[in-house]
Amino acid sequence: MKNQAVGSSSDKIVVAATRMAQARGYGGLSIRDLAQEVGIKAASIYHHFASKADLAAAVARRYWEDSAAVLEALATASADPLLSLRRYPETFRKSLESDNRMCLSSFMAAEYDDLPEGVRIEVQAFADVNVAWLEKVLGEAGIVDPEQTRRRACAIYAAVAGAQLIARGRADIALFDALIESYRQAGLLPG
Contacts of 66 (CB under 8 A, 6+ apart): none
Measure CA of the first residue to CA of the last residue in the chain; give whole Å.
Answer: 51
pLDDT of 57 over the 80 cut: yes
If one counts every other C-beta atom within 10 angstroms of the C-beta of residue 164, the result is: 26
Number of domains in the chain: 1
61 is a domain residue: yes
Q: In Å, what is the CA distance from 71 to each residue of 43, 65, 87, 89, 121?
A: 36, 10, 10, 11, 20
Its pTM stands at 0.88
108 versus 36: the higher-pLDDT residue is 36
pLDDT of 171 over the 90 cut: yes
107 is a domain residue: yes
Q: What is the per-residue pLDDT for 51?
A: 95
Q: What average pLDDT does the structure give for the chain?
A: 92
Q: Mean pLDDT, to the nearest integer, of 21-38? A: 92
Q: Residue 95 in contact with residue 102, Cβ under 8 Å?
A: yes
**Please, which pLDDT band fits residue 98 given cuts at 50, 70 and 90?**
confident
94 is a domain residue: yes
Structural domain boundaries enclosing 133: 53-186
11 is a domain residue: no
Contacts of 24 (CB under 8 A, 6+ apart): 30
Contacts of 147 (CB under 8 A, 6+ apart): none
